[in-house]
Structure 1
Amino acid sequence: MSTLVQAGAHPVPWIRRDVGLQAYAEVFERMRAFTEARTADTPDELWLVEHPPVFTQGLAGKAEHVLLAGDIPVVQSNRGGQVTFHGPGQVVAYPLVDLRRLGIYVKEYVFRLEAALIQTLEAFGVVGFRVPGAPGVYVNLADPFNLGLPAGPRQDVFEGLGKIAALGIKVSNHCTYHGLSLNVAMDLEPFVRINPCGYAGLRTVDLATLGVRAEPAAVANVLAERLGHHLGHSSNPVPVAF
Structure 2
Amino acid sequence: MTATGTAPSRVLVCDDQELIRMGLRMVIDSQPDLTVVGEVADGAAAVARSAELAPDLVLMDVRMPGMDGLAATEHICAGAAGAAGASGAPGVPGGSRPRVLVVTTFDLDEYAYAALRAGASGFLVKDAPAEEILVTVRAVLRGEVMVAPSVTRRLVERYVIPAAVPRWDQRLAALTEREREVVTLVARGLANGEIAARLFVGETTVKTHLGRALTKLGLRDRIHAVIFAYESGLVRVSDP
What's the TM-score, normalizing by structure 2?
A: 0.30
Which structure's residues are more often helix, by fraction?
Answer: 2
Work out which of the two has the higher radius of gyration on C-alpha atoms and give 1 or 2. 2
What's the TM-score, normalizing by structure 1?
A: 0.30
